[in-house]
A and B are shown apart, each in its own frame.
Chain A
Amino acid sequence: MPPVITLVRKDLLRQVRDVKGLLLYLIAPLFLTTIMGMAFGGGSIFGEQRISAIPLALAGGDLPEEMKERLAEGLQETELFAVTWTDTATAGRLVERGDAKAALILPDRLGDRFFTGEDVEIGLLKDPNSPVKAGLVELILTDALRQFQAGEAAYRSLWPEDDWSRAGDAAVVYEDFTSGDPRRMLRALRRDDGQLREGLLDRAERWLAFSDAMQEPAVTFVRHDRQEWEESGTAGAGSASLYDLFLPTFAVFFMMWGAANIVRELHRERENRTLARLLVGPVSGREITLAKWVTALLVGASQLLLLLLFGWVLFGVNIGHAPLAVLLVAVAAGAAAASVYLVLGMIVRTEKALDALTTVFTLVSGMIGGNFFPVDAMGPTLLFFGRATFNYWANRAYSDLITHGRGLEAVVGEISVLVAIAAIGLTLAMLLFSLRQRRGVLV
Chain B
Amino acid sequence: MNPRFIGAIVAMRLRRIAADRGNVIWLLVMPLVFTFMMGELMGDWSASGAKPTLVVYGMRGADPAFSAMVDRLGTSDDFRVVARDTTAAPARARRLLEGKYVSGALIIAEDYADSVAAGQRPRVQFFYDSDRRSSQGVRRAVDRELARLATRTAAERLVDPAAADSDPALASAFDDSAYARLYEEPRVRLETEVRGRSRGADLLVLDDAREHSAPSYTLMFILMFMLMSAKDLVLERQNRTLDRLRIAHPSTGDLVLGFFLSGFVLGLVQGGLLLLINSLWTGIDYGDSPAALVLVMVLFVAMSSAAGLLLGTLATSGGQADGLGMVFGLGLPALGGLWWPLEVTPEFMQEFGRALPTGQAITVFHDLIGRGHGVAEVAPMLWGLGFWAVLLLVLAALRFRRYSV
Contacts and interface: CB of A to CB of B under 8 A. Distances in A.
A382 to B, nearest CB: 7
B210 interface: no
A147 B129 CA distance: 23
Given A149-B183, A356-B22, A157 B174 contact: yes
Contacts of B151: 147, 150-151, 153-154, 214
A111 interface: no
Contact of B46 (A146, A154, A229, A377): A377
B84 to A, nearest CB: 18
Nearest to B135: A226
B49 to A, nearest CB: 6
Contact of A227 (B131, B140, B204): B131
A150 B155 CA distance: 10
Given A154-B155, A222-B125, A224-B90, A379 B48 contact: yes
Contacts of B90: 224
Interface in A182-235: 201-202, 205-206, 208-210, 213-214, 216-227, 229
B131 A128 contact: no
Interface in A124-167: 124-133, 138-139, 141-143, 145-160
Contact of A380 (B30, B101, B194): B101
A222 B123 contact: yes
Contact of B189 (A122, A208, A214, A374): A122
B126 A222 contact: yes
B45 A373 contact: yes
Interface in B217-274: none
A121 B41 contact: no
B319 to A, nearest CB: 5
Given A128-B205, A128-B206, A220-B121, 12 more contacts: A92-B195, A119-B187, A124-B190, A126-B205, A153-B178, A153-B179, A205-B169, A210-B155, A214-B154, A220-B123, A223-B126, A368-B37
Q: List the 5 shortest-distance A-B pairs measured between CB atoms, nearest first.
A: A24-B323, A128-B196, A209-B169, A153-B182, A377-B45
Interface of A: 18, 20-21, 24-25, 27-28, 31-32, 35-36, 38-40, 49-52, 92, 95-96, 98, 101, 114, 117-133, 138-139, 141-143, 145-160, 201-202, 205-206, 208-210, 213-214, 216-227, 229, 257, 352, 356, 359-360, 363-364, 367-368, 372-374, 376-383
29 contacts: A20-B319, A24-B320, A24-B327, A28-B330, A31-B331, A32-B330, A38-B349, A39-B340, A92-B195, A119-B187, A120-B189, A124-B192, A128-B370, A131-B206, A142-B140, A146-B147, A158-B174, A206-B168, A217-B121, A218-B116, A219-B124, A221-B150, A222-B123, A222-B126, A225-B130, A257-B326, A356-B25, A379-B47, A380-B101
